[in-house]
Amino acid sequence: MNDPRHLLILTSKTGGGHVSLAESLADLLAEDFTSSVVDPQPTWIHRHYQLVSRYALWLWSAEFQLSNTPGRASQAHKLFSRLIRSPLRALIAQEKPAAILSTYPFFSYSVQKIAPQIPLVLLYSDPRTLHQAWLTVKDAALHLAPSREVYAQALAAQVQPDKTQLIGWPTRRQFYAPDPSVAEQTWAETGFVRDRLTIFLQGGGEGSAGFARTVEQLLALTDLHGQPALQLILAAGTNQLLQRRFQGRQGCYVLPFTKTIAPWMACADLVMGKAGPNMLFESVTLGKPFLATTFIPGQEEGNLEMIRDYGLGWVALTGDEQIGLIKILLRQPEAIREKQASVETYRVWNQAGLAKVPDLVQAAISTIG
């Protein structure tokens, strides 16, 4: 017998923020359900992603685009099902979930074949343009659309309207329910002053000379009195080169890899980095404007459109553009306040939609039961 209070959340470690999105779902549903977040794919798929994402991002983009037609997406589902059928069947038998949720499109066909009696809930992981792989299965127990644009695309593709719900983009609990005392401790740890422009800058794997040069140029900016014009929280991740180069620099706090990132972002006036959807909407949830500095072609282009259309921040894709924009913001701080207002409008809408999710999931389980 399946556990009526337990969920199996399927995700993928192959980029795109699928894991963070799955963890966000687990947090969102934690008061009503226990959850297991699992990637059932074979390890060679993870190694393939690690290689192409580091050395051949163009290939990852090409693979993304190649499967982005109804026919090819359907064929990809059938091929993928052969790869994961056995481990997925064993996982479902072990977990005995009341429902299976997925933040990765290529699990949906397999789940319906293996366990048609268990409610399937799909959370679309595209904020702007829905990949065709999500539309192969159109009759899941529940389809969750994280934006108005994706909701409209799903309905246009004839996904069952009575099972399709417009919500928002889920983020982890540390972002939507931050601890004020932790935020204060974090601010004190930086040693920064309160009245200076503070930027949370995502470095991560971007250890290129171009990125480091941009950091140097930002730290070199001064005000009319020759004092540093801004402060940087540099999220260096596991990049040892960035950590060594900027550790101890005046006006720069180097943050190594950590899962608890919300308090550091909360210290900033502006979040700056790659236009991945999770980081973008984590910034929105904290009420922070976002400056997109790079993106994955094809997969993240729609995120740039979201930033522009909803006034969530700015897009500056070269070092010169970024420095030029920061200089403008230093001269015109009201520009940041204007963006904060539009970010707040989106944040309120987003959180209102997410509040519906526990009841929607429970209803999907009850309907099947």
Structural domain range at position 118: 6-170+351-368
Query: Is 312 among the domain residues?
Result: yes
Question: Are 14 and 78 part of one and the same domain?
Answer: yes
Q: Could you tell me the pLDDT band of residue 360, with boundaries at 50, 70 and 90? A: very high
What is the C-alpha to C-alpha distance for residues 11 and 122, in angstroms, rounded to an integer? 11
How many domains, the chain?
A: 2
341: in domain: no
Residues 193 and 63 in one domain: no
Say yes or no: 25 and 103 in one domain. Answer: yes
At 36-61, the pLDDT tens digits run 999 998 776 667 566 666 666 656 66
For residue 201, give the H/E element and its range. Answer: strand 197-202
Question: Is 358 found in the same domain as 325?
Answer: no
d(CA 83, CA 87) in angstroms, rounded, equals: 9
Q: Per-residue confidence at 245, pLDDT binned at 50, 70, 90? A: very high
Q: What is the pTM of this model?
A: 0.91
Same structural domain for residues 180 and 148? no
Which stretch of DSSP H or E encloses residue 189?
A: helix 180-190
Residues 139 and 229 in one domain: no
Please indicate, yes or no, whether residues 238 and 259 belong to a single structural domain of this protein.
yes
Please check whether residues 126 and 229 belong to one and the same domain. no
Domain shared by 164 and 231, yes or no:
no
Instruction: Judge if 145 and 199 occupy the same domain.
Output: no
Answer whether residue 277 shows pLDDT above 70.
yes
Measured in whole angstroms, how far is the alpha carbon of residue 81 from the centre of its chain?
Answer: 26
Question: In 160-182, which positions are buried (b, 16+ CB within 10 angstroms) versus exposed (e)?
Answer: eeebbbbbbbbbbebbbebeeee
201 and 282 both lie in a single domain = yes
Share of the chain above pLDDT 90, in %: 76
Mean pLDDT of the chain: 91
pLDDT of residue 248: 92
- In 120-192, beta strands by DSSP E: 120-123, 142-145, 164-166
**275 occurs within a structural domain:** yes
Residue 338 in domain: no
User: 32 and 139, same structural domain?
Assistant: yes
Q: Is the pLDDT of residue 88 over 60?
A: yes
CATH number at residue 79: 3.40.50.2000
The answer as to whether 345 is a domain residue is: no
Which tens digit of pLDDT belongs to each residue from 313-323?
Answer: 999 999 999 99
| Position 361 in a domain | yes
4, 15 Cβ separation under 8 angstroms: no
How high is the pLDDT of residue 68?
84
